[in-house]
Amino acid sequence: MMRHLFLTQAGVAPSARWCEAFPEGEAATLTEILDEAAEGDLVWISSRFEDWAVVLARVADSLPGCPVVVLSLRPDDEEGLRALDAGARGYCHEMAATALLREVAVVVAHQGLWVGPALLSRFLGAVRSHLPSPADAASGLPAGLSVRELEVARAVSEGLTNKEVAWRLGITERTVKAHLGAVFEKFGVRDRLQLALRLAGRAGAEAVGQP
């Protein structure tokens, strides 16, 4: 069973939001995590942690089977890119809603990558010139994809959260989650970034080398 481990030190403890999202979660020191974490456990590191990027790299290198998510009180693109470069599988606001934190956990636990709307847009912008035309991309849609699923897929690919997608389409978040699960399966992707690239065309996904 996957455990949620929050890396702690003096002055850095799990937020109330995180504790609410993962009531079974555990606060642990770096030594405890390196010695006791099992494959599949999810490690959470706050950028409030001293030398967090160095510690993150050490955890990612020592525990390749344990995905790491970096939490930040002031998320920004550069810090997010630094986190991903050091080995994080996810990067989000430390005070995100509990439902969003759980969603991040599900994505990275299934070997996906979680990035916020700004980073998603930045990644897509970086590979835009390598992507085929929208007409070419549309021709590669998977068979059996419903109109509503395509609407959800396109909205998510813009970087919208499930709540924002629900508001735009006039449906519930639960319905968005159900459609998104079907979309991921039909497109053969694990996360929002892969979906965005897949929608833009298979060539785009190959250009950036998805894991």
Residue closest to 33 by CA, chosen among 49, 17, 20 = 49
Domain 121-208 in CATH 3.40.50.2300? no
Taking only the tens place, the pLDDT of each residue in 77-136 is: 899 999 999 999 999 999 999 988 998 998 899 888 888 777 776 776 666 555 555 444
The answer to whether the CB of 70 falls within 8 A of the CB of 63 is: no
Domain 4-114 in CATH 3.40.50.2300? yes
Domain ranges, ordered by start, for the chain: 4-114, 121-208
From residue 184, alpha-carbon distances to 107, 134, 178, 180, 190 in Å are: 11, 20, 10, 6, 6
pLDDT at 202 over 60: no
- Mean pLDDT for 142-154 is 90
pLDDT at 163 over 90: no
Mean pLDDT estimate for the chain: 84
121-208 shares the fold of 4-114 = no
pLDDT at 205 over 70: no
- Which range, of 75-79, 99-103, 187-191, 203-207, averages the lowest pLDDT? 203-207
pLDDT top residue among 120 and 186: 186
Q: Residue 134: what pLDDT?
A: 47
Q: What share of the chain in percent tops pLDDT 90?
A: 53
pLDDT at 26 over 90: yes
pLDDT at 193 over 50: yes
Q: Residue 201: what pLDDT?
A: 58
Residue indicated by tokens 């990612």? 60
Q: Residue 126: what pLDDT?
A: 66
Q: Residue 62: what pLDDT?
A: 96
- Residues 7-43: b if buried by 16+ CB within 10 A, e if exposed: bbeeebebbebbbebbeebebbebeebeeebeeebbb
